[in-house]
Amino acid sequence: MNIFRLAGDMVHLLSFVVLVLKINATKSCRGISLKTQELYTLVFVCRYLDLFSNFISMYNTTMKIVFLGTSFAILYLMRGHKVIKVTYDREQDTFRYLFLVLPCALLALLIHNAWTPFEVVWTFSIYLEAVAILPQLVLLQRTQNIDNLTGNYVFLLGLYRGLYILNWIYRYFTEPHYIQWIVWISGIVQTILYLDFFYYYIKSWKNNVKLALPS
Amino acid sequence: DDESNDKDEL
């Protein structure tokens, strides 16, 4: 494991902490897209199907369980918690799941490394993760007065993907036969989706003004 | 081997 990979995972973990903190501290999930959270949960469920059948390391297994557990906990807070669920921006969070799930499923059926159920579902999770942030970005654009924690949450998610790209570059040069086209291209697409957000996030941070995305 | 290594990322 290299430093970029570890930093990427820690930033990803931190993004969950920030999100749970925001929801719990403010008792509100305003500005958070339930659709993105549901898509991420689907991503983790599909990707970690081999959780108990393919042991890689304690680190790997622990992180997978934490990601899955936190994702379901966030879904519970947003859908089941009686105080928090009423703060959900249902009317604004209108992105259609099918526009993301269907193309990713078709692409996974067409482009994958092996024609096995596990491999196709795993590939689907890679494609879906790349675009799962879109409902959240659309909701941010519609949200007036984005709070700091929500902005930081999305920034950390983007930063995690950026660090993974550095990890892949490092691994490509240090490990023999390390070629992962599906993961790389999806990861690059995923990172590109954040570029516009990064621009406004850094601008608001430099000018010390509240984050607002132009609609 | 390569096959198991390729799923070591989260």
Give per-residue pLDDT as tens, A76-129: 999 999 999 999 999 999 999 999 999 999 999 999 999 999 999 999 999 999
| Separation in Å, CA of A209 to nearest CA in chain B | 34
Q: Does B6 touch chain A (CB under 8 A)?
A: yes
| Separation in Å, CA of A55 to nearest CA in chain B | 9
Question: If pLDDT is split at 50, 70 and 90, which confidence band does B2 have?
Answer: very low
- The residue in chain B having the minimum alpha-carbon distance to the alpha carbon of residue A48 is B10
Cα distance between residue A215 and residue B10, in whole Å: 33
Find out whether A97 and A35 touch, Cβ atoms under 8 Å. Answer: yes
| Nearest by CB: A60 against B2, B6, B8 | B8
Question: If pLDDT is split at 50, 70 and 90, which confidence band does B5 have?
Answer: low
Contacts of residue A57, Cβ cutoff 8 Å, sequence gap at least 6: B8
Question: If pLDDT is split at 50, 70 and 90, which confidence band does A177 have?
Answer: confident
pLDDT for the residue numbered B1: 40
pLDDT in tens, A139-161: 999 998 899 999 999 999 999 99
Asked if pLDDT for residue A34 goes beyond 90, the answer is yes
Range list of H helices, chain A = 3-26, 34-47, 58-79, 97-110, 117-131, 134-142, 148-174, 181-206
Q: Complex ipTM, two decimals?
A: 0.86
Residue numbers in A near B8 (CB within 8 A): 56-57, 60
Contact at CB, B10 and A9, closer than 8 angstroms: yes
- The residue in chain B having the minimum alpha-carbon distance to the alpha carbon of residue A181 is B6
